Amino acid sequence: MSKNTSFKKNKNKKKKMYQVTPVKPRLTELELLNKPTVIITKEVQNEILYFHSRTGKKEWSGFLLFEQEGTLEDINALRLKTKHIHLLDIGSETFTTYSSDTMEEIIEDLGDVALNYKIGQCHTHHSMGK
């Protein structure tokens, strides 16, 4: 079933039946022929290694602070430099999740530090494709 559908209960039937209604995609797909440069700093490399050493095969997730130089209009010149990963959840060997409310609270606590950077989400995939 397509991701671009919505479901409505059909009230005329006693059984639970759903009517599938196509929904216009909100975003258009953008195929990039080139890629931006992502710089993973030594500090972030060390954070990743530390998280892996403490969590083993469990998946973990959190948010990433990074600097952005350039724009999507000139993808070849776009540079993203990682600054810090803030760990929010250590899940199971197959799953990790966290609340966006928790993320917002932490970002508020960071104050000006968070204002100086862009914020993205990050998580692990230890056994993907096996």
Claim: this prediction has a pTM higher than 0.75:
no
**Residuewise pLDDT in 10s, the chain (130 residues):** 444 444 444 455 455 455 566 666 676 776 767 888 999 999 999 999 999 899 888 889 888 999 999 988 888 899 999 999 988 888 888 877 777 777 777 777 777 777 788 888 888 877 665 5
DSSP class per residue in 47-71: HHHHHHHHHTTS-EEEEEEEEEES-
Cα angle, residue 76 at apex, residues 75 and 78 outer, rounded to 5°: 60
Token pair, residue 105, equals: 């609270």
Q: Where are the domains of the chain?
A: 37-123
